[in-house]
Amino acid sequence: MIRSCISCKVKKHKNDLLRLTVANGRLVVDHRYNIAGRGVYCCMEANCIHLLMHKDKQLARALRADILKFDRDKVSFVTELMKSIDEN
Ligand SMILES: [Zn+2]
């Protein structure tokens, strides 16, 4: 399946993109691509992940969420994302 990055719009195979979705009302990374529901995709690249920080409204709309909630906060979320791409 081909999906496009919400930040840079480049199209890639979904396994080459991070999948973000909402679980229990919070934005999460779907590392196994198996969480049901709407998802958005983002390149595994620092630039695109940083751009996500400015896309709350767009993310919320794409995920059909009224407001984006995070387990802790947005900065921690993005920090975790950056760590997860470093490990790959
Ligand atoms: Zn991108």
CA 86 to each of CA 60, 71, 80: distance values in angstroms, whole numbers, following the listed order: 26, 21, 10
Query: For residue 18, how far is its CA from the centre of ligand 1 (angstroms)?
Result: 10
Sequence length of the chain is 88
Ligand 1 mean position, distance from CA 26 (Å): 22
For residue 57, the surrounding DSSP H or E stretch is helix 56-62
Enter the pTM of the model.
0.91
C-alpha 42 to ligand 1 mean position (Å): 5
**Residue among 22, 7, 28 nearest 66 (CA):** 22
pLDDT of residue 88: 58
Q: Contact at 8 Å (CB) between 1 and 14?
A: yes
Segment 24-52, tens digit of pLDDT:
999 999 999 999 999 999 999 999 999 98
> pLDDT tier at 13 (50, 70, 90 boundaries)?
very high
Give residue 43 CA to ligand 1 midpoint distance, Å.
4
Report the alpha-carbon distance of residue 59 to residue 5 in Å, rounded.
11
The structural domains of the chain, ordered by start, are 2-86 (3.30.1230.10)
How crowded is residue 75: how many other Cβ atoms within 10 Å of its Cβ? 10
